[in-house]
Structure 1
Amino acid sequence: MNENKLKHLEFIQGVINRMGQNSFLLKGWTVTLVAGLFVFANIQEMDYRFISIALIPTIFFWLLDGYFLWQEKLFRKLYDHVRIKAEGEVIDFSMNVKPFAPEISSWMRICLSNTLGLFYLPIIVIIVITMAFVYKY
């Protein structure tokens, strides 16, 4: 394999790894933040508005996680594009993924995918149920 092609694939793989790591960290921060807000809440004086604060970062982390997953899929397409290049083709080390965007589901569609929905929806449901419980009492 051409040395330039191999190096370009390594660059792309590095970006894919970072996107996966960012997604993993966002999930960890979401759980930590929501659990922390619940742990430090005073049950006797808890206000439903205090709990609703947990919805804001959860939704933003969900959207950001979807963005990272979308970018990861775009870079996988770029990886495949570079991988199948013929031996004589010029390697330009381009990291532009815009040409592959029409081939991938939209960012919002990825946010609503099973992968992310099954993680973030239960957290949001728990927050809403807790808000409703606290609001009643």
Structure 2
Amino acid sequence: MPTPPSSGTISAEEIKHLELIQAVVTRLANGSFLIKGWTMTVAGIFFGLAANNLSWKIATTGMIPIVGFWLLDSYYLRQERLFRKLYDDVRKSDPSIEPFSMNISLYHQQVPWGKVIRSHTMANFYGVLFLVASAFAIGAAVKGIHTT
């Protein structure tokens, strides 16, 4: 009969559990990286079209995918943070965590959506793109006013 782990040691089952959680965190981080790549691609297309056509409508439309990708990437970051909380509890051999549980609902209160969306990681990347799109929209609108 296996003996429970003593203080400071991690069992083979807990190590496997940690590996499973880490695999999920890795997949989420990879998804977030891909989303940022798609964001840059789509935003670049809209910025190019807006600059080429001096169209505030195109620039404003370009804000929609930026916001959409911002929300999607925030979802991935939140999920990653939730799994990191689970990882930490498994690492500490928390007896309230069932073996091989991937239940992250215990941590939802600790990782609120709003905090993730406004995090430095999200705001710096997506906020800058949103500001650039806004600058294109304002610049095109002003240019359109002066040319008519």
Shared fold (TM-score, shorter chain, > 0.5): yes
Q: 1:81 to 1:2 in 2, by over 3 A?
A: same
Matching of residue 78 in structure 1 with residue 86 in structure 2: yes
Query: Would the aligned equivalents of 1:38 and 1:51 in 2 still touch at CA under 8 Å?
Result: yes
Counterpart of 1:66 in structure 2 is 74
TM-score (norm 1): 0.87
TM-score (norm 2): 0.81
| Aligned-residue offset at 1:89 | 9.1
Distance in 2, Cα, partners of 1:89 & 1:110: 26
| Aligned-residue offset at 1:13 | 0.1
Query: Would the aligned equivalents of 2:51 and 2:136 in 1 still touch at CA under 8 Å?
Result: no
**Which runs of 5 or more structure 2 residues have no equivalent in the other structure?**
1-9, 144-148
**Which runs of 5 or more structure 1 residues have no equivalent in the other structure?**
none
Distance in 1, Cα, partners of 2:107 & 2:51: 50
| Aligned-residue offset at 1:130 | 0.5
Q: 1:40 to 1:14 in 2, by over 3 A?
A: same
Query: Would the aligned equivalents of 1:47 and 1:135 in 2 still touch at CA under 8 Å?
Result: yes
Aligned residues between the structures? 134
| Same amino acid, percent of matched pairs | 35
Matches within 5 A, 1:7-86: 7-41=16-50, 43=52, 45-85=53-93
Counterpart of 2:4 in structure 1 is none
